[in-house]
């Protein structure tokens, strides 16, 4: 990722954290415990005037492998940032 795009992403991340501190704290607390294969992660979308829509996934080993690759990419970008 080029440095300008990385700075833009970091700024957007800070705005998201300011706008949604409870969600960020929740996500960090759950991710710090680790996610195991078989874990169910759900999400609900509630639009004004509409019924809630719910979806979930059961985490598979391949999902964990993808997350590890993304984590490695992030660590590599942080090492090369400045």
Q: Sort residue 25 into left (φ over 0), alpha (ψ -120 to 50) or beta.
A: alpha
List the chain domain ranges: 1-34, 37-82
pLDDT at 46: 97
d(CA 79, CA 73): 10
Closest CA to 12 of 59, 20, 56: 20
- This prediction has a pTM of 0.65
Two structure tokens written together for 60:
């598979």
For residue 58, what are the β-bridge partners?
40
Q: What is the pLDDT of residues 30-50, one digit of tens each?
A: 988 989 999 999 999 999 999
Give 3-state DSSP helix, strand, coil % of the chain, rounded to 5.
Answer: 60, 15, 25
């Amino acid at each position: 990722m080029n440095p300008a795009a990385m700075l833009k992403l970091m700024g957007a991340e800070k705005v998201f954290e300011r706008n949604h501190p409870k969600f960020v704290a929740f996500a960090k607390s759950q991710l710090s415990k680790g996610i195991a294969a078989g874990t169910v992660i759900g999400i609900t979308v509630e639009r004004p005037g509409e019924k809630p829509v719910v979806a979930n996934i059961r985490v598979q080993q391949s999902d964990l492998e993808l997350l590890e690759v993304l984590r490695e990419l992030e660590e590599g970008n942080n090492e090369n940032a400045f």
